[in-house]
Amino acid sequence: MKAAVVRELNAPVEIVDAQVGDLGPGKVKVKVEAAGVCHSDLSVQNGTIPWMFPALLGHEGAGEVVEVGEGVDSPAVGDHVIFNWVPFCGECFYCKRGETWLCGQGYGLGLTPATFDGAMAFPMAGTGTFAEEAVVHKSSAIAVPKDIPLDVAALVGCGVTTGVGAALNTAKVEKGSTVLVIGCGGVGMNVIQGAKIAGASDIVAVDRFENKAAEAKRFGATHSTTPEGLDAIKADVTGGEGFDYAFEVIGLSQTIRSAFDNTRKGGTTVIVGVGRAEDQVQFSPLEFLLKEPKILGCVYGSSPVEKDYLRFLQYWQKGELDLEGLISKHIAIEDIPSAFEAMERGEVIRSVISF
């Protein structure tokens, strides 16, 4: 099969002939039909997200189950599935609380290396969707209705669930509230959509690329600006007090600090972006007394995927969530390097690989 691998840190993406891993108990083999190119894939290549090398990239995707291992009752052969990049065991402390997105045991169950050129390739987040086939733990293949186009379904596997979930599940945005979103990539656009679904009155989109900030209005932003114009919009929308909710969807200490500083007293700052471990954010202890802030982390939109994939697809079916509009272009697997470059230049929301 064709697969996109990175042999070592900062090495280029290579399209290689690989062999999918063995199908063991509790696992399923999926023919990958579509995969979204997410910034987190680039973050594995450059080391922002720690992972093992050689790495088989890709974690956002959808496909059809072609074979199941021993002990798998769901999904079944022929099912259409969305890949879940946080496999879960179903038995640990977090799973029993219904917080499957916090399970720390799933990767041990589901990580199935592929092979190429005599070496192992470790599938990103236990999925490895930048390949024509994938063997994953059964919890990483969530069945969805067959009438959902698979390129649309693929987006739900990361960007939609993380972004919409951040607004609805993590922050629990209230109707009539003011919302700031810093970072208008694939995830940020979906935070905006989630805030719109929640009934926020004002949604301010900020991005260093003026075209991306402006495009956010198509997904529900009421105001858009580059960072230089944020103070003026904050004064206009909030009287200078700050926003009820501020989402950072980049993963940099300076933008995290900006989100915090632009949140009102008693408001909620949500950190959605993935940054480097060594990039530290500083807060003064006195700020917590003076401001009474709420700072929340966000893993996968705090989403129980077995319920939320279907929930978000229902929003799409009702016209409340724009998924097709997130797809900037369809590409071949050989186009991944240029898709990374386009993403870095702010030219796309999502490139989707069609196999």
The amino acid at 151? D
Tell me how far apart the alpha carbons of residues 271 and 166 are, in angstroms, rounded to a whole number: 9
Residue 328: how many other CB atoms lie within 10 Å: 18
Please give the helix or strand (H or E) that residue 131 lies within, else none.
Answer: none
H or E element, residue 82: strand 80-83
* Torsion of Cα atoms, 193 then 101 then 155 then 54, to 10°: 140
CA angle 254, 49, 310 (to 5 degrees): 95
Q: What is the pLDDT of residue 146?
A: 96
Q: How far apart are CA 81 and CA 155, in angstroms?
A: 12
109-118, 219-228, 293-302: lowest mean pLDDT where?
109-118
* Under 8 Å between Cβ of 34 and 153: yes
- A 10 A CB-CB count for 293 gives 17
How does 85-109 read in b/e, with b if 16+ C-beta sit within 10 Å?
bbbbbeebebbeeeebbbbebbbeb
Q: Which residues pair with 205 in a beta bridge?
A: 181, 224
Environment class of 118 (CB within 10 Å of its CB; exposed 0-12, middle 13-18, buried 19+)? exposed
* Residue 298: closest CA among 240, 346, 259, 342: 259
Beta-strand pair 202-206/178-182:
parallel
Taking only the tens place, the pLDDT of each residue in 46-105 is 999 999 999 999 999 999 999 999 999 999 999 999 999 999 999 999 999 999 999 989
pLDDT digits (tens, 9 = 90+) for 121-143: 999 999 999 999 999 999 999 99
Confidence of residue 34 (pLDDT cuts 50, 70, 90): very high
How far is it, in rounded angstroms, from Cα 224 to Cα 282?
A: 27
pLDDT, tens only, 146-166: 999 999 999 999 999 999 999
Res 317: pLDDT: 97
Structure tokens at 142: 């969530």
- Token reading at 222: 């009421």
- Burial category of 308 from C-beta neighbours within 10 Å (exposed 0-12, middle 13-18, buried 19 and up): buried
Percent of the chain with pLDDT over 90: 98
pLDDT value of residue 110? 78
| Domains recognised in the chain with CATH numbers | 2-147+323-354 (3.90.180.10), 163-299 (3.40.50.720)
The amino acid at 138? K
- Split at pLDDT 50, 70, 90, the class of 348 is very high
CA-based end-to-end distance of the chain: 11
Among 353, 308, 333, CA closest to 16: 333
pLDDT-based confidence at residue 108 (cuts at 50, 70, 90): confident
Q: Which residue has the tokens 């993380």?
A: 162
Which of the four pLDDT bands, split at 50, 70 and 90, describes residue 109? confident
For residues 191-201, one letter each, b for 16 or more C-beta atoms within 10 angstroms of the residue's C-beta and e for the rest, the string is bbbbbbbbebe
> Which helix or strand (DSSP H or E) is residue 92 part of?
none
pLDDT tens digits, one per residue of 290-319: 999 999 999 999 999 999 999 999 999 999
The answer to whether 350 and 324 have CB atoms below 8 angstroms apart is: no
Please tell me whether the overall predicted TM-score, pTM, comes out greater than 0.85 for this model: yes
Nearest Cα residue to 237 out of 205, 195, 202, 269:
202
